Amino acid sequence: MEFRLFGPGGVPGDDFRRDIEVLVSLDDRQLEVIANWFLTTREFNSDAAISSPAIVTSSLTPDQVIRSVDTLQFILEAWRLYGLSLEEIQADLM
């Protein structure tokens, strides 16, 4: 199988694998905090995220925020750059 999310012929690296594990280990409330940050920010980087009042007051650690935001940002950018379908992204993540 070709991993479309990681570019032509690409495969997920160890950093991505580790970061996605952090993201999928978050509980529902933590995921909601991350999602709300994405929906309300204009500055999409992990440095801005860790200083967000909503994130600072959450149970998320700075490491969880950085890894989660960077992973989601990577997925969204690849989705746009490579014109992927949701099914292609889901297949790659599985």
Contacts of 10 (CB under 8 A, 6+ apart): 3
The pLDDT, as a whole number, for residue 14 is 87
Contacts of 82 (CB under 8 A, 6+ apart): 4, 5, 7
> pTM score, two decimals?
0.81
26-74 residue pLDDT tens: 999 999 999 999 898 888 778 888 888 889 999 999 999 999 999 998 8
Question: Rg of the chain over CA atoms, in angstroms?
Answer: 14
Q: How confident is the model at residue 8 (pLDDT cuts 50, 70, 90)?
A: low
Could you say which DSSP state residue 51 is in? T
